[in-house]
Amino acid sequence: MRATLGMMVFAAGCAAGTVAPTIPDDSAPGPSLPDPGPAYSYQFGAKFEPPVGRVVHGVGQWQEYNLKYAALLPAERQPASELIFIDIANLERPWNPALIASALTQIGAAGRIPAIDIGLRGNQPGKAALDTMADKLFAIDDEVAHSSTWDGRLLDLVKVLREYRRPALVRIGGEFNGWWNGYHPYDYPKAFRKIVHLFRAGGVENAAFVWCYEPAAPADFDAVDGAGNPKWYPGADVVDWFSIDLFAAGDISGPTGAHGGGLTSYGRTLKFLDMAVASEKPVVIAESSPAFYDLSVPTGAAAAWAEWFSPYFQLIAARPEIKWFHYINYNWLLASYYAVSGWKNNDLSAAPGIISSYLGEVARPKYLHNGEQALLKDFTKYQ
């Protein structure tokens, strides 16, 4: 099961049958595409969407491992965005908007777009602890939706983003219906909407708002009650981008379960992507890494390439609504929360046997890297 990275930004400084997508002919690895000038076209016209045929290349949130990742890449292939996590209800650390602002400034100074996750909860309990809790819905999205308890912290973030001025992705309550996050059906979309309205009313124009699913969770993301109230979807007017997090091999290939029984993880992935297309929204893979493969072991790295990386890039190629990805370069064994769930070392610098394959993939002309962000729709309005 997937657990969201619940780190505070100021602590982080430190269908039966198989669907086999094919890779469109996007040519052999080569230099990035030139600025197409007035010939820009955008599939959905979403804020910060790349031109048709381009996919933004981003990276995860651990600074030490981001440095290792960057060292593997040539200067012209550096990531264009970087993840950052803020849990507004973590009461174990002092709330420090100035430090959040500083973290955004550092990401911007590196030429990267911050992809911010606003977690509507505090620290996550482990599976064993959660099993003992009477109330499995431990998040504070219901309080956000129906009270002003957390408005002060949310308005602090409004101020930080407004004063940052540059483009940012803002993911609200990522992995919304995963048991590991404890969000409340029907309250979560209300909280999402409230937060977007707070940002807009506060003059934040430089943010694109992101709604994120993880396929270990149920496929009820499009459900409504008898009165038409959405269980999870906040609505097209407040969602700029759909998003999905991909960690298990079964999330990105294999049987779908579509012709009998329940959907598999891959079936749920495809259903969510189909909803994005029907909603005319682009998709960002907000978090991804081959969690259950140890890249530091040659056999593990080879298996990861065959069973995770190759299908992952095939999925991106086969589904043009996917326009952005973040690879999390990290040794999950260092974090007990993940290690006990079987997550392993996903540091590419520990896997020399597959680095050349990875570098060859991200060298394809379709990937958009650091220094090319001006190609994104409306990007230059916020500089």
What is the spatial distance between Cα 338 and Cα 221, in angstroms, rounded to a whole number?
25
Give the model confidence (pLDDT) of 94-123 as tens digits.
Answer: 999 999 999 999 999 999 999 999 999 876
Number of neighbouring beta carbons within 10 Å of residue 315: 24
Burial class (CB in 10 A: 0-12, 13-18, 19+), 365: middle
Position 135: which residue type?
A: D
Give the model confidence (pLDDT) of 25-63 as tens digits.
Answer: 344 333 344 444 456 899 999 999 999 999 999 999 999
Share of the chain above pLDDT 70, in %: 89
CB environment 275-297: b (16+ within 10 A), e (fewer): bbbebebbbbbbbbbbbbbbbbb
For 172, the enclosing helix (H) or strand (E) is strand 168-172
Domains of the chain, earliest start first? 21-382 (3.20.20.80)
Assigned token pair, 200: 């807009």
Q: Are 345 and 305 in contact (CB under 8 A)?
A: no
For 207, the enclosing helix (H) or strand (E) is strand 207-213
What is the spatial distance between Cα 172 and Cα 238, in angstroms, rounded to a whole number?
11
Give the model confidence (pLDDT) of 268-327 as tens digits.
Answer: 999 999 999 999 999 999 999 999 999 999 999 999 999 999 999 999 999 999 999 999
